[in-house]
Amino acid sequence: MPYVVDAWAHLEADTSNQRDQGHEAAFRRWYRETTLPRTRTALMLSAIIITGISAVDLALLPQAAPLTALVRAVIMLPALLLMVMSLDRPALRPWSEAILFGGIVLVGWSSIAVGAIDARNGLPPVHTPGLVLVLIYAYQFIGLSFRLTLGAAGLITAAYFAAILAAGAPAYAAFVNMLFVAGANAVGAVQCHANWQAGRNTYRQTLRMREHAMRDALTSVANRRAIEQHSAALWLEMQRRHGALGIYMVDIDCFKQFNDTYGHQAGDECLRRVAACLSGVVRRPLDMVGRFGGEEFVVILADPRHSYVHLAAERICEAVSGLNQAHASSPVAGHVTVSVGATCVRPGVDCDSIADAIQLADQALYEAKDQGRDRYVFRYPVPAESAVTSATPHRSTDRLTSAGI
């Protein structure tokens, strides 16, 4: 799903707990995306280094080179290749964290195995420098979360400690090597945590700026730009799911007269109250309330239940009327009311674009105004006289037609 839908869903989560969980999952995806070029380059460089070391071993250590080259060729290089593929192949992206975690652990263990093979051939007991290089890669370049990185490094380090003790190395050599590896872990963990927190702070700032850019300053609901981005992305998503979109154009009746009577400050407060009222009707993460312009709002429902399509329009009228906001100059009622133009379409089936669907709802809105305001009109996306139905305020007896919504 496009990012704008994902981001709006997290901004509009029902509870603070859901919001926190959603933000954390979105942050981890964002972090992987931002570190992806660095991770890809580091993994490819690792493959080159491993291939070069194998060539050096074949030239200088013929007694151990065949087996160590086999470990590198059969385990380490395929692991690195799979890690790179998890970054670029859409089919593997959902499992990229698990693949990166398992891959770096496997490379670390393979490095330990190479050191053990060298030890059996009279070389130093374990490749400490190579292992430190693996740990540096794990902490700095793989792009995993801080906790997953600690877990991977912990598994590698534990295997190293077990291997060096099992190798029977002199106590001093074992102690110094283990101290170096422990120190590399400490330094790497501090820097990894700093990178993780810096990334989190950058993400929060990005979200705040994005939210400010997507919110109407007066009413705090979505602005026109956010409506266009979200509705276009949601259109594609519902088309993929074979779902439907409910679109409701909402206009405050006789708002100019309200401003003339009560002043613009009262008008601003009225807009805020209506926006809050509409937000109360919308509760699911992918649904949206936005200010389309002036006193006109739009409500978008993602794949609404059949029984809720008309009920939502009725509830919008009832909720705004229930505010009992005085409007003495209104020829419709003594309080603020709204007219609603509604439609429900299947993307790609009933309409070719979100613009066509919004135009359909807008036509229904004008019909509601022509019929006397303080009501909703529902327009079906079929070219027939019976495709237009209307309802008196707060009442609906219409049923869905053969449009299949």
Which of 12, 97, 237, 295 is the catalytic position? 295
CB atoms within 10 A of CB 36: 14
What is the full DSSP assignment across 312-376?
HHHHHHHHHHTT--B-TT-SS-SB--EEEEEEEE-BTTTBSSHHHHHHHHHHHHHHHHHTTSSSE
d(CA 79, CA 47): 10
CB atoms within 10 A of CB 344: 29
Contact 393, 321 (CB under 8 A): yes
d(CA 80, CA 110): 12
SS3 142: coil
SS3 244: coil
88, 94, 100, 101: CA torsion to nearest 10: 180
Contact 379, 350 (CB under 8 A): no
Is 295 a catalytic site residue? yes
Q: In the β-sheet with 245-252, what is the strand arrangement from edge to edge?
A: 288-293, 296-302, 245-252, 338-345, 376-379, 388-391
SS3 55: helix
d(CA 128, CA 277): 65
d(CA 247, CA 353): 13
Positions marked active-site: 295
